[in-house]
Structure 1
Amino acid sequence: MTGEYFKLALLCALGVLLVIACVTDWRSRIISNRLNLAIAALAPLWWITNGLPVWPGMLLQVALGLAVFALFAALFAMGCMGGGDVKLLGALALWFPWEAVLAMLMMMAMAGGVVTIVTVVHHRMTRRLGQPQIPYGIAISFAALWLIGERYLNHFA
């Protein structure tokens, strides 16, 4: 039973870190490296608590995290995403199996559309100059929180 409490504690810690990422990205358009590092550093504890074997389980999670990071780093290089967003996605990919990561990315895309529309409308209504900076960390955090709630906390599904 202690293991279940530790799993819940890890999920709660991840949830708190995601809320912090959301708020800081909203306020300053920055997701700190320390925050992303904390999310990534907690993932091995999650693996161990869930009994994930080193081979192939943990190595596949690391490969998934690197693949997600590389994919979104390419979008960063094209100017489509912020660096903090890329690191946050890579860190989150360490937590979930690839099927769940795909679901998270789909939810992130939908939430990102809403965040983009709201940001552009606000930018125009306040008559600000230049291009608006989209706080995509909000969409990423929302999608990950949705995934945690749907996949791990919803025992009635």
Structure 2
Amino acid sequence: MTTHLPLVLLGILALLVVSAGIEDIRTRQIANWKNAAIALMAPVFWWSIGLSLSPDVAGQLALAAAMLLLFGFAFARGWMGGGDVKMIVALSLWMPVGQFMSLLIVMSVGGGVLTAAMLVVHAWRSRRRDDTPPMEVPYGVAIAVAALISLREPILNQFS
């Protein structure tokens, strides 16, 4: 086990998150392989930082299960896209509860700002044309930004 492995994994995670955010802007979808890679790298990260099976790994799995239920409900109601839900659940495998709750707060605020901005743009376009397509919010952007903000702490603390 190398001491640089956690930092390398966090760097790969950051690249995947940025890529998912860009993809969501461009296509309003997040590829399943990106969310799967985020989720499947988490156990390697747990091993690299020495998490114990109980309570650490069990806690991460419980957090992910809770997020799947919560955001799965939001998806079922049509409030969020499936890729967004998968990305949130995959990211929950990487962070302790407190850090993840910070991610959710930043994500919510950022998503609200993004939605408000898109509503203004959509209303403006609708006034100019009758054939304006329905608005789709690339919420993956808010998730990606919140994840990067949340990840800065463990990345920067590697050097202390």
TM-score w.r.t. structure 1 length? 0.92
1:132 maps onto 2:131 in alignment: no
Which residue identity does 1:4 align to in structure 2? T
SS at match of 1:126: helix
Alignment of 1:97-116 (within 5 A): 97-116=96-115
CA contact (8 A) 2:10 2:155 kept: no
Aligned counterpart, 2:145: 142
1:29 maps onto 2:28 in alignment: yes
Larger C-alpha radius of gyration, 1 or 2?
2
Structure 1 position 3, deviation (Å) = 2.9
Question: Aligned equivalents of 2:7 and 2:40: distance in 1?
Answer: 17
Which residue identity does 1:143 align to in structure 2? A
Structure 1 position 130, deviation (Å) = 4.8
Structure 1 position 96, deviation (Å) = 0.3
Which residue identity does 1:53 align to in structure 2? S
CA distances 1:37-89 after superposition (whole Å, capped 9, x unpaired): 00000000110011001122112111111111110000111111001000000
Alignment of 1:7-156 (within 5 A): 7-127=6-126, 129-149=132-152, 151-155=153-157
SS at match of 2:3: helix
Question: Aligned equivalents of 1:153 and 1:40: distance in 2?
Answer: 19
Question: Aligned equivalents of 1:51 and 1:6: distance in 2?
Answer: 11
CA distances 1:75-116 after superposition (whole Å, capped 9, x unpaired): 111111001000000000000001111110000011101211
Larger relative CO (CA 8 A, sep 6+): 1 or 2? 2
Aligned in 2, Cα 1:4/1:121: closer, same or farther, shift over 3 Å? farther
Unaligned runs of 5+ in 1: none
TM-score w.r.t. structure 2 length? 0.90
Question: Aligned equivalents of 1:11 and 1:3: distance in 2?
Answer: 14
RMSD: 1.7
Aligned pairs, number: 155
Unaligned runs of 5+ in 2: none
- The share of aligned pairs that are identical, in percent, is 39
CA contact (8 A) 2:20 2:30 kept: yes
Structure 1 position 5, deviation (Å) = 1.4
